[in-house]
Structure 1
Amino acid sequence: MLLLMFVHGTIFAGLASFVLFLSSRKKRCNTRLPPAAWTTPLIGCLPVVLRQNIGEEMFKIGKQLGPVVSTHLGFQKFVIVNGPEAIKEAFRNSSIAGRADVLYKEFAGSKGIIWPDDVKETRKFIFKSSKHLEFTGNATEFIIQKQITKLLKRLEKTNGKPFLVKNIFNIPLVNGLFNLLLGTVILHDDPDFHYVITSVNILATLPDPIMRACVLCPSLLKWLPLFVSGRDKVEGYFNDVRSLVQKYAENRLVVRVPNQPRCMADALQDKIDETTNESSAFHHDQSPAVPILTDLVIGAIDTTAAMLEWIVLYLSEFPQVQQKVQTEMDKIVGCGRIPSLSDRPKMHYTLAVIQEIFRLAPVVPYGPRKATENTTLMGYTIEKDSYVVGNFYGINIDPDLWENPKEFKPERFLDTNGHFVKSDLLLIFGHGKRSCVGELSARDQIFLFTTRFLLKFNILPEKKLNNFSGRMAATWHCVDFEAKFVPRIQS
């Protein structure tokens, strides 16, 4: 019986694939579709999705076939976009501003700040509220500095001995974020802390390649049993985070003072209370607070932690670069105080180093969007419901844009006067209407963590890795490595 079911399923899949093939051939006769890659029926680009560096594979096919390439995964159509011109055109196109129907969207529903197709109202509120909270005594910098100080004390206790760098940033980032969003911190021995760390890590790293493919293209779940796809596990981790956020959001409702917001949850509730327009994303019938806060938690913790791990790896592997940053910092900051955001405009070499690491190790190397209607891109027809994937990583390694693109060279971002030059080519935080809403906060955290670390420690590798290949998941992580944080002796 099982064999018969398998044979019938195989025949159906084959016939469906043949019909899909004939349909695509007919459409190509009537429209100018992008050149096709990885055209094996049903399988399509699955072998590429299962590889560690998807961005490099997309870059290679773009060099062969052009900046806009079509493919598929199962029955889902994909359009791969390479190069700054094509990506920026795609992400400016309001018809390519939908959110791809990845598995997380199924769990989150149509609320929040990540998954709805129209997030203009929500994004505007988040930006405005974040700016307002800076001037009400709950400044981001103060919260970040407090968490960094706690981490530095923990690192001091290692006594310069090597340890695994993986996940060391989770504690300060989780507590900093929960303070900003929910007005609270979670004690390290609290079971809640373990749940949020574990769940966010799994959702971001997706260690199983089959699970990664199913998250990207949920239609594959129809062909795979649950124990293979990992769908239940992913949904469980997502629900763990959402339940924890809901618990702390409800606790916050008890102590908040209306119209005196001290955190994002307060500001959200004030907005909900004043909203009478039933079509608004903030109308109380929409119950928007928990979905928005959950999106901000999942979207912020792992990406920033991954960026900081890459920075520690590069600095430990390039001690001469690390020393130059410390020399610049000693000159500008000195010994009597800690670095602050006000120092940033003067620390040109430090900014160049951070941007060069962003270039070589973009933790979000590509950005998926969805075409909400038929449209055009670079002269090609993009069909409705196609997933349009902008390959940010491909820009960063293109030899037509960078001299020796695989070389770690911070000086490429300094002008002849030694001043930092921000590059418009790097789309580290995305581009267009769905760019990262937490970009400014992430940049603040990365600058403060990096400078405070290097003011206090020399970061040394346990052994030279020379391995910057990374591992791909929802975000791009560096390989596991050990480092030593040795206290500096400053004159």
Structure 2
Amino acid sequence: MADIFGTATAVVFLVTIIYYCWRQNRKTYRLPPGPKQNLIFGNLMELIHSTFIQGEPAFVKFSQWAFQTGPICYLRFFRQRVVVISDARVAQRLCVHQADKFTERPPGLFLARVLKNKGIVFNDGPSWKEHRTFLTHEFRKYGFGKQSMEQRIQYVVDEYLHQIGKTNGENHDPHPNIATAVYNIIWTVISGDKFKWGDPFLQKVIKNLETNLQAVELTGPHNYVIILTLWHLVVHNFVRLWLIVTTRLVYFKQLIAKFRKYREETSSSEVEESMMYDYLVKMQEFKSSRTSTHFSETQLLWLVSDLFIAGGETTITTIRWILLCLAKYPQGQERVRQEIINAFGRDSTPTYAQRTQLPYTEAFINEVLRLGGVAPGMWRNTSQDATYENYDIPKDTWVLLHFWAMSNNKDQWDEVQEFQPERFLNEEGMFCKNENLLAFSTGRRECPGQGLAQMELFLFTVGILQKFKVALPAGEDVDIRSGHFGVTYTPPLHQLEFIPV
């Protein structure tokens, strides 16, 4: 009996010491405010209940917590500290002014585990830095402000306009044509080559990419508990997901091999410069000089995959939102059209550099970015202890930059539920950026293809409205506040009519 009593006493003493140390550790940090937490699970059980029982998207629950608490909200999911940022200015102060501490991806995030040391989006460390530098240089070389790149994009836009002209004003789902055009632009940016419209191989790639995206979710509870991660894999069929990814890599490997064969069979003076051409040249230079590098065949494969997924889905979704909003708000559509026609007519295509002559058009596109967003949120991980005003953000805290919450925060936007492009115009009627909008992220993880994406949105919008009136089918309406959260915030299912003007 004495032994049992002694053992019990030792256990209680040990638990007390552990609990005391845990409490003391908590007291060393001045953590941001947050909702009430369960002693053991923190806020995890509430998130699980909200997501699995009530069917509420995780992004919505995160935004509710943030709006209740303030621009910086502290949560805990079992042992994992989480901070949600719902104010763009706070995000910039952290990710720009303390960039060294807010550049990594959370190592425990589901996709970060799968894509560790691969590609660019969820990669970290020296490999990420080397490829980020390469991409930044390439986008400056071929992207924003480059006439040759703009001509490539315009060629695909013209093909797209020709295709929707074939619908003869009949209602249809605009998604497939937009996806075909955007993914073709991405391949043009990567390789300098392009697919013929309706190319069967491109259609297989598109089907694979969109099937993959349906099963990916970045903020669900499965990211915080291993058993839920396993459950997520079972629900979405791990074997099926593995086959989707494997098939996609086979497709991209074929594209790279085709490009390499073309390059070998063509004199260097005839090969059009491109991102992939530069990567292969750089890889060969490193190999010849025996310089240490993360450039490799495998990394090129994953880089191409990331460019298609990250650069494609975000742009496709935004163009879908633009078209839906044009149809939903015909008066705004007519104002954009008249601005374009008054400045450039119906046949002269303005360049992206001339966008300053179309302030309301720019304002309309930016209001769509606020409403629909490019991505509802993205994760960072603190590599060191950080601070914000009187608060501490400990090392290895997962930080959610909640872009959707930033754009829907009533404390930052007047009449936040209303679609009002005028909010981006100053008193003189000129376009004016709003610092509360972070459509392309911020800091060192800011989208390197931002300039290219903005060029695409502008050229598509102008090209469509010069030729067509966009409308919902007669008698139909769509609630634009009922989008679907995932990798992107996609519009509700709808059909549109493109009526020649």
TM-score (norm 1): 0.86
SS of 1:430's equivalent?
A: coil
Shift of residue 423, structure 1, vs aligned partner:
1.7
Aligned to 2:69: 65
Aligned to 2:437: 426
Instruction: State how far apart, in whole Å, the 1-side matches of 2:383 and 2:345 are.
Output: 54
Amino acid at match of 2:180: I
Q: Does 2:48 correspond to 1:46? A: yes
Shift of residue 91, structure 1, vs aligned partner:
1.5
Q: 1:236 aligns with which of 243, 250, 254?
A: 243
SS of 2:400's equivalent?
A: strand
Amino acid at match of 1:474: V
Amino acid at match of 1:436: C
Instruction: State how far apart, in whole Å, the 2-side matches of 1:136 and 1:328 are.
Output: 22
Coordinate RMSD, CA, aligned: 3.0
Shift of residue 461, structure 1, vs aligned partner:
0.7
Alignment of 1:85-484 (within 5 A): 85-92=89-96, 93=98, 94-101=100-107, 102-118=109-125, 119-133=128-142, 139-187=148-196, 190-206=199-215, 213=220, 216-217=223-224, 219-221=226-228, 224=231, 226-256=233-263, 262-275=273-286, 276=289, 278-282=291-295, 284=296, 287-462=298-473, 463-484=476-497
SS of 1:482's equivalent?
A: coil
1:179/1:410 Cα in 2 relative to 1: closer, same or farther (>3 Å)? same
Q: 2:30 aligns with which of 32, 43, 46?
A: 32
SS of 1:160's equivalent?
A: coil
Instruction: State how far apart, in whole Å, the 2-side matches of 1:467 and 1:155 are.
Output: 23
1:250/1:223 Cα in 2 relative to 1: closer, same or farther (>3 Å)? closer
Instruction: State how far apart, in whole Å, the 1-side matches of 2:51 and 2:236 are.
Output: 14
Alignment length, in residue pairs? 467
1:220/1:230 Cα in 2 relative to 1: closer, same or farther (>3 Å)? farther
1:302/1:220 Cα in 2 relative to 1: closer, same or farther (>3 Å)? farther
1:277/1:154 Cα in 2 relative to 1: closer, same or farther (>3 Å)? same
Amino acid at match of 2:398: Y
Give per-residue Cα distances to partners, 1:411-456, cap 9 Å, x unaligned.
1111122111122221000000001111111100000001111110
Contact kept in structure 2, 1:317 and 1:465, CA below 8 Å: yes
Instruction: State how far apart, in whole Å, the 2-side matches of 1:59 and 1:225 are.
Output: 23
Amino acid at match of 1:163: H
SS of 1:415's equivalent?
A: coil
Instruction: State how far apart, in whole Å, the 2-side matches of 1:214 and 1:271 are.
Output: 41
Instruction: State how far apart, in whole Å, the 2-side matches of 1:159 and 1:245 are.
Output: 35
Shift of residue 54, structure 1, vs aligned partner:
4.4
Pick the structure with greater CA Rg: 2
Give per-residue Cα distances to partners, 1:366-418, cap 9 Å, x unaligned.
12111223333343332332211011222222222221111111111111221
TM-score (norm 2): 0.84
Percent identical among aligned pairs is: 24
Amino acid at match of 2:171: P
Instruction: State how far apart, in whole Å, the 1-side matches of 2:18 and 2:359 are.
Output: 54
Unmatched tracts of structure 2, length 5 or more = 1-15
Aligned to 2:11: none
